[in-house]
Amino acid sequence: MKYVDEFRDGATARALAAAIAREVRPGRRYHLMEFCGGHTHAISRYGLKDLLPDNVAMVHGPGCPVCVLPVGRIDGAIALARDHGAILCTYADTMRVPATGGLSLLKAKAQGADVRMVYSCADALRIARATPGRDVVFFAIGFETTTPPTALAILEARREGLANFSVFCNHVLTPAAITHILESPEVRELGIVPLDGFIGPAHVSTVIGSQPYDYFAEEYRKPVVIAGFEPLDVMQAILMLVRQLNEGRACVENEFTRAVTPEGNAKAKGLVAEVFELRRSFEWRGLGEVPYSALAVKAAYAACDAERRFGLVCRSVPDHKACECGAILRGVKRPTDCRVFGTVCTPENPIGSCMVSSEGACAAHYTYGRFRGQAGVAAQAPSHG
């Protein structure tokens, strides 16, 4: 397939793997965090670990929008559909995230709530136009990549005078999450999580540009290489990070120049600034309350804000006791460190959010990589046989 195969070429991968093997110093370890779930997925799906030297360790970051949604927000979405009678439009991944009382959007749907899977918020707008008598709420989740389309949908709804459309906004911000990880005691004081550098987001950076990462490189002395989501992008970024670390540099470098500029996408940023404002604080699964890390719909667009419109209050609900998603999202633990990984918690019956999305660290490891040293986990049949 043109424009895709070029970035998945086996020969180039072997050449890059050889270059990385040549560059790494035998005496040291390289702990690199891939922030995005897209990178996590590529690493697992293409078997990148088989191509890396043993002293390069990839640490999974919190950049999976489904994974970081706290239980309380899923409960909120279920309430909108079940208690307020709205048509709730959601991305497919979110439907299986476990909520309070053994529920999920999928189970709420089976109980009669009107939950509909959509591929984009434009589909939600279409449903709102087609069902003027019903409230239609778009369950907006995601980082900076999915935020501009949501802003556009709100502006479009206003332009058309679409009174039955609103957005349950859960958009979160990447730089705030990275700061939070770097400031966490595990990284900063205790050194439990060694972090030498970051593979920076691909699609997020097409919107916000590479400039927002300068702060991390300068303030925390951590190199950042922004990389695309194809496996060769990831390999190239690892090579660039290893070189920076060997040379003692900490800069922001851009591997993904075919899509990312220093300034980002001014038009998209403008749309977001028009419709959204910063929340003082927002709860992340795994990270807890993170200041200035999420967006809310501005008062000027209150009619399109489902939280205001339905007086929705989302409680903070603790995760399942056995679930290690929080520690995994902070890079403190690996999926295999979790007691319930692959036993009680599987993609068919997820206990935690990291097992739900294909970008989640647990799901990616379970689906693609669990044959590596996983003597205890045999292939399991789905319940329907």
Question: Would you say 60 and 331 are in contact if contact means Cβ atoms under 8 Å apart?
Answer: yes
CB of 154 to another protein, least distance (A): 20
Question: Would you say 68 and 284 are in contact if contact means Cβ atoms under 8 Å apart?
Answer: yes
Q: Which helix (H) or strand (E) holds 140?
A: strand 136-142
- For another protein, give the closer residue by CB, 3 or 27: 3
Question: Would you say 151 and 272 are in contact if contact means Cβ atoms under 8 Å apart?
Answer: yes
Is 330 among the residues that bind another protein (CB under 8 A)? no
Is 33 among the residues that bind another protein (CB under 8 A)? no
Within positions 217 to 246, which residues make up the interface with another protein, using CB under 8 A? 231
- Residue 277 has a CB neighbour count (10 Å cut-off) of 12
Closest CA to 236 of 255, 223, 253: 255
- For another protein, give the closer residue by CB, 215 or 368: 368
As a whole number of Å, the end-to-end CA separation of the chain is 35
CB of 78 to another protein, least distance (A): 18
Within positions 36 to 55, which residues make up the interface with another protein, using CB under 8 A? 44-51
**How many positions of this chain bind another protein (CB under 8 A)?**
40
What gap in Å lies between CA 211 and CA 363, rounded to an integer?
32
Give the one residue of 1, 101, 159, 248 binding another protein; rule: CB under 8 A.
1
Closest CA to 35 of 271, 262, 287, 268: 287
- For another protein, give the closer residue by CB, 229 or 256: 229
Is 107 among the residues that bind another protein (CB under 8 A)? no
Is 335 among the residues that bind another protein (CB under 8 A)? no
Residue ranges in the chain assigned as alpha helix (H): 10-23, 37-45, 71-82, 105-110, 121-130, 147-160, 174-183, 185-188, 203-208, 214-220, 231-247, 266-275, 306-309, 325-329, 361-364
What gap in Å lies between CA 85 and CA 312, rounded to an integer?
13
Show the tokens assigned to 287.
């990270």
- For another protein, give the closer residue by CB, 31 or 49: 49
What gap in Å lies between CA 303 and CA 202, rounded to an integer?
33
Is 381 among the residues that bind another protein (CB under 8 A)? yes
- For another protein, give the closer residue by CB, 44 or 150: 44
- For another protein, give the closer residue by CB, 261 or 367: 367
Show the tokens assigned to 128.
């709102």
Is 377 among the residues that bind another protein (CB under 8 A)? yes
Give the one residue of 54, 101, 119, 313 binding another protein; rule: CB under 8 A.
119
Q: By CB under 8 A, which span of 73-81, 111-119, 186-194, 284-292 interacts with another protein?
A: 111-119
Is 285 among the residues that bind another protein (CB under 8 A)? no
Q: By CB under 8 A, which span of 13-21, 157-165, 201-209, 300-308 interacts with another protein?
A: 13-21
CB of 26 to another protein, least distance (A): 23
Is 63 among the residues that bind another protein (CB under 8 A)? no
Instruction: Characterize the bridge pairing of strands 288-291 and 281-284.
Output: antiparallel
Is 131 among the residues that bind another protein (CB under 8 A)? no
Show the tokens assigned to 111.
């109980």
CB of 314 to another protein, least distance (A): 25
Residues in touch with another protein (CB under 8 A): 1, 4, 8-10, 13-14, 17, 44-51, 96, 117-119, 123, 231, 346-348, 358, 363, 366-371, 374, 377-382
